[in-house]
């Protein structure tokens, strides 16, 4: 299982993104792996499509990739506060880590260097370039 962050998904959908080809390739390589995204990460991703008026096509594409939303658990506030204090990551990045921990993911998909470093230090494999 791979927990994806917004940078990874945005790169996948934005053909002009510097990481687009890497994101496409990594998802092709992970075709048989479960993909999850935190509710907060999903909201981050969907802002652009809402503004552009193509929300439904992105939602359909996510369904085609079999990306599953990982809702915040009941104790999310405390766990996210701890992650933020321990890692100094931005709260949205903490949501990626929380989803990865909550679902016992093997990896985190990100192009964010800080998140990648923290994820590695917490025992996750990082899927990126």
CA distances to 44, 96, 113 from 80, in Å: 17, 10, 20
pLDDT of residue 105: 98
10 Å Cβ neighbour count for 105? 24
Q: Which token pair is 23?
A: 């994101």
Q: What is the pLDDT of residues 4-58, one digit of tens each?
A: 999 999 999 999 999 999 999 999 999 899 999 999 999 999 999 999 999 999 9
Enter the pTM of the model.
0.94
**What are the domain boundaries of the chain?**
2-127
**Which among 1, 13, 3 is positioned nearest to 93, based on CA atoms?**
3
Domain with residues 2-127, CATH architecture = 3-Layer(aba) Sandwich (3.40)
- 72-113: pLDDT as tens digits: 999 999 999 999 999 999 999 999 999 999 999 999 999 999
Phi and psi at residue 75, in whole multiples of 5°? -100, 25
């Amino acid at each position: 299982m791979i927990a994806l962050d917004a940078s990874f998904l945005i790169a996948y959908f934005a053909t002009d993104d510097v990481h687009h080809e890497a994101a496409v390739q990594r998802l092709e390589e992970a075709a048989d792996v479960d993909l999850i995204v935190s509710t907060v990460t999903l909201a981050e991703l969907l802002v652009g499509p809402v503004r552009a008026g193509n929300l439904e096509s992105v939602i359909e594409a996510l369904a085609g990739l079999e990306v599953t939303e990982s809702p915040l658990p009941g104790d999310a506030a405390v766990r996210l506060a701890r992650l933020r204090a321990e890692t100094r990551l931005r709260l949205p990045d903490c949501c990626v880590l929380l989803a990865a921990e909550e679902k016992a993911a093997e990896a985190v998909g990100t192009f964010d260097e800080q998140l990648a470093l923290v994820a590695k230090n917490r025992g996750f494999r990082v899927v990126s370039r």
